[in-house]
Amino acid sequence: MVEKLDPAARAELLASLSGWTEVEGRDAIEKTFRFTDFKAAFGFMTRVAIAADGQDHHPEWSNVYNRVTILLTTHDADGLSARDAKLARVIEEAAAGSGLST
């Protein structure tokens, strides 16, 4: 069993991440990224997929052309855990290097 973030760790995570919001009705966080085109969006997804699989922690995500929406939560913790914090940081790094739309 993975432990949920305690309220202090959760507040710190949200304060440290730009553009991630809490999801209504779920203990989860979400962000939508916009890239220059589909190639950039899918390149980003590929970087995230490899990192996520390496961490054995996978996002719930969707893509429409240049937009990628990612939701993070930890099923084993029934909410946000340190795994989500770690993956969110990797996602931010991948996005920064993947042709974000300005």
**What's the CA gap between 16 and 24, in Å, rounded?**
20
Restricting to residues 3-22, name those near its own copies by CB under 8 A.
none
**Measured from the CB of residue 48, what is the shortest distance to its own copies in angstroms?**
10
In this structure, the number of other CB atoms found within 10 A of the CB of residue 93 comes to: 13
Restricting to residues 36-95, name those near its own copies by CB under 8 A.
38-39, 42, 45-46, 49, 52-53, 58, 60-65
* CB nearer its own copies, residue 14 or residue 61: 61
* CB nearer its own copies, residue 4 or residue 67: 67
**What's the CA gap between 6 and 65, in Å, rounded?**
36
**What's the CA gap between 26 and 36, in Å, rounded?**
30
Check: CB of residue 5 under 8 Å from CB of residue 80.
Answer: yes
* CB nearer its own copies, residue 45 or residue 88: 45
| Footprint of its own copies (CB under 8 A) | 38-39, 42, 45-46, 49, 52-53, 58, 60-65
